[in-house]
Amino acid sequence: MYKAVFTDMDGTLLRKDHSISEATRELVRKIVDAGIPFILVSARPMHGILPISQWLGTDHMPIVSLNGAYIGLENKIIFRSAIDLSTVTEIHAVANRYDVTLIYYCGMEWFAEKSNAATLKEQRITEVPVRIAPYEGLLKQWEKDPAGINKIMAIGKKEVIGELEAELHRIYGDQMNVYTSKPTYLEIMRRDASKTNAVKFLMERYGIQREEVIAIGDNFNDKEMIDFAGTGIAMGNAPDEVKAVADWVTDTNQHDGVRKAFEKYIQLSEP
C-alpha cells in the first residue's frame, strides 16, 4: 500500500499545453479521497504550481517547488534552501560568458536582468511579475533580504546549456546540484536542495517508509527521485538514461501516462 505519491509536473502530469486531462484529474481526486498524499514536485516556483494544485484539490498537501529548494504546506514554508550571495555572484560571472538568460528565484519572487523571450515564456505560467533590474541592483535588494536565492535557472540553446553545465560541474563538483530539467533549462541549487531530498524530508515528517513511496517524472532532475522511490516510474517521453533507473515506463505526457501508471500501481477500493 502506497502512503505517498510524488509527481513531477512539466512533461509528466502536464501535457504540452500545460493542461491535465479530466480523467487524470478524477483519478488524482480519488487518490486524495483515499487518504494518500498526492504531492507535486516541480522545478517551477511556488506561484507557478499553486493554481494547478488548487484545481486538482491538492493545495492542502505539501508542495515541493524549485526542485526541492522551497517546500510549502498550507501557506507555511516548511523547508527552504538558499545559495549564499557570494556563490550567486560567482555563478552569475561564469554564466555571463555564455549566451544564456539567468533567472533568480527567491520564495514567491523572481528576478532577471532583462525581459526577453525566455522570461516572457516563464511569465506565462504565473501571475507574479518578474522583477527586472541590472545585476548590481538586484544584488542590493537581495542583501537586504535574509531569505536568499533558492534557485538560479539558465535558459539557452541545448549546446550552450551543455557547455555551461559541464563548467559548473567542474567548478562546484559536489557542492551544488546542477542539472537540466529539459535540454534548454539548467537548474542550479544548493546541494541540500533536490527532489530526492524533498521526498526524504517529507517521508521523515510523515513517518513514511521508502517502499511506501511511488514517484514519477520525465527528466534528469527527476532521475534520482525515480531511482530512490520504492516504485519509480518514468514517462514514455523521458530520456533513455532516466528510463533505465525506473521500475516501469508508462505512456507519454500527451497520452495520460500519469493516469495509466497510477491505475496500474495504486489499488483504490470502490466505495
Phi, psi of 40 (to 5 degrees): -80, 130
pLDDT score of 104 more than 70 = yes
Q: pTM of the entire structure?
A: 0.91
**Cα 200 to Cα 6, 134, 194, 197, 245, distances in angstroms:** 11, 37, 10, 5, 18
pLDDT digits (tens, 9 = 90+) for 159-214: 999 999 999 999 998 899 999 988 999 999 999 999 999 999 999 999 999 999 99
Q: CB under 8 Å to 94, separation ≥6 — which residues? A: 164, 167, 168, 171
DSSP H helical ranges for 3-100: 22-33, 46-56, 85-95
pLDDT digits (tens, 9 = 90+) for 218-246: 999 999 999 999 999 999 999 999 999 99
| All structural domains of the chain | 4-80+193-265 (3.40.50.1000), 85-190 (3.30.1240.10)
Q: Are 141 and 135 in contact (CB under 8 A)?
A: no
Instruction: Output the pLDDT for position 269.
Output: 63
- Catalytic, 84? Answer no
Q: Is 47 left (phi over 0), alpha (psi -120 to 50) or beta?
A: alpha
Give residue 254's pLDDT band: very low, low, confident or very high (50, 70, 90).
Answer: very high
Pairing of strands 185-190, 176-182: antiparallel
Catalytic residue among 8, 10, 59, 256: 8
pLDDT digits (tens, 9 = 90+) for 127-158: 899 999 999 999 998 998 777 899 999 999 99
Q: CB under 8 Å to 23, separation ≥6 — which residues? A: 256, 259
* CA distance linking residue 39 with residue 58, whole number of Å: 7
* CA distance linking residue 226 with residue 217, whole number of Å: 7
Pairing of strands 109-112, 131-132: parallel
**Cα 113 to Cα 81, 89, 100, 196, distances in angstroms:** 23, 13, 11, 31
